[in-house]
């Protein structure tokens, strides 16, 4: 639990939530013409130049835009201030690299359109971040030592095979950059919020994925360009903020601002 001095000196960019997840992270591809139909106001598919600069190792797939799918078993999730822990739960979420335009500025962000959970308290808590969390109590998952599958009927069907434990590797650069981008979400009240997600990998393995995701009339499936990792990691997220509060705060967020404290920083230069 944080001390009185730490609580008194907190700012919105400080880590608010923390936990330890075991996730299968997948790189999939969304057809451009279908993605453009569902992106909210102010968001667009980044230019080829921006994608090449920020994702230099990523192979371009003609007519499709890469995005991240994350299938997680969440453990030790707690708010940093009180350290009250939630029970373990399952959460499925998606991050789409987008250009967010605000007045004369453009920013590379990662758009989270929806999250699926089987834990009602987690859904209610997500509303505080402005997240579009959906409650799916009948979500199914089956796990063996080397395989994992998730099923939400008529929405999502996914399965994985994990590489041997002696084949550790770094987290794919596409995942690292997408998670490092400022996260943007649009609440059920149609308000746009930004927050920082930080991921600290502990162990990373390769994985072989197969998935089918039905979302807003689109059916997105794995193909020959799909790639994946299995990752054990610690994570933090900051408080959700409006654009100016996040990108133009009245305090410095370049580094941790006090000894022994972690700050989720928003020091991300604009694209324009």
Task: Report the C-alpha gap between 184 and 51 in whole angstroms.
Answer: 18
Residues 72/89, Cβ–Cβ less than 8 Å: no
pLDDT at residue 124 in the model: 85
User: Which H helix or E strand runs over 254?
Assistant: none
Q: pLDDT grade, residue 47 (50/70/90)? A: very high
The hierarchical CATH code for the domain 4-247 is 2.40.400.10
- Structural tokens at position 111: 């758009």
Q: Express each pLDDT in 89-111 by its tens digit.
A: 999 999 999 999 999 999 999 99
Residues 77/17, Cβ–Cβ less than 8 Å: yes
* b/e code 77-113 from CB counts within 10 Å (16+ = b): bebbeeeeebeebbbbbbbbbbbbbeeeebbbbbbbb
Domain boundaries defined on the chain: 4-247
Q: How far apart are the first and last CA of the chain?
A: 40
Q: Express each pLDDT in 171-184 by its tens digit.
A: 999 999 999 999 99
Task: Report the C-alpha gap between 266 and 182 in whole angstroms.
Answer: 7
More confident residue, 262 or 109: 109
What is the Cα 111 distance to its own chain's centre? 8
pLDDT at residue 252 in the model: 83
DSSP letter string over 198-248? EEEEEEEEEEEEEEEEEETTEEEE--TT-EEEEEEEEEEEE--B-HHHHHS
- Structural tokens at position 16: 């608010």
Q: Output the pTM of the full model.
A: 0.91
**Residue 200 pLDDT exceeds 50:** yes
pLDDT at residue 6 in the model: 73
Residues 96/207, Cβ–Cβ less than 8 Å: no
Distance set, CA 143 to CA 140, 160, 162 (Å): 10, 9, 11
Quick count: other Cβ atoms within 10 Å of Cβ 160?
A: 20
**Residue 257 pLDDT exceeds 50:** no
DSSP bridge partners of 109: 98
């Amino acid at each position: 639990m944080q001390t009185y001095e730490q609580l008194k000196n907190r700012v919105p960019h400080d880590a608010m939530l923390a936990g330890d997840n075991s996730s299968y992270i997948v790189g999939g591809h969304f057809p451009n013409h279908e993605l453009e139909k569902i992106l909210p106001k102010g968001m667009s598919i980044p230019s080829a130049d921006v994608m090449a600069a920020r994702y230099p190792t990523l192979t371009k797939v003609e007519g499709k835009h890469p995005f991240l799918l994350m299938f997680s078993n969440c453990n030790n999730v707690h708010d940093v201030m009180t350290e009250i822990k939630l029970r373990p739960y399952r959460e499925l979420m998606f991050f789409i690299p987008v250009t967010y335009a605000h007045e004369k500025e453009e920013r590379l962000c990662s758009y989270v359109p929806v999250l699926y959970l089987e834990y009602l308290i987690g859904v209610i808590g997500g509303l505080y971040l402005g997240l579009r969390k959906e409650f799916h109590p009948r979500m199914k998952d089956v796990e063996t030592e080397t395989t994992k599958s998730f099923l939400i009927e008529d929405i999502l069907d996914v399965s994985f095979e994990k590489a041997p434990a002696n084949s550790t590797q770094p987290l794919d650069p596409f995942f690292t950059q997408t998670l490092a981008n400022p996260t943007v979400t649009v609440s059920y009240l149609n308000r746009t919020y930004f927050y920082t997600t930080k991921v600290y990998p502990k162990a990373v393995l390769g994985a072989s994925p197969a998935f089918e995701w039905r979302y807003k009339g689109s059916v997105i499936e794995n193909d020959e360009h799909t790639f994946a990792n299995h990752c054990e990691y610690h994570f933090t997220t900051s408080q959700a903020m409006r654009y100016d509060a996040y990108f133009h705060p009245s305090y410095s967020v370049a580094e941790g601002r006090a000894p022994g404290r972690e700050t989720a920083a928003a020091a991300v230069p604009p694209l324009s």
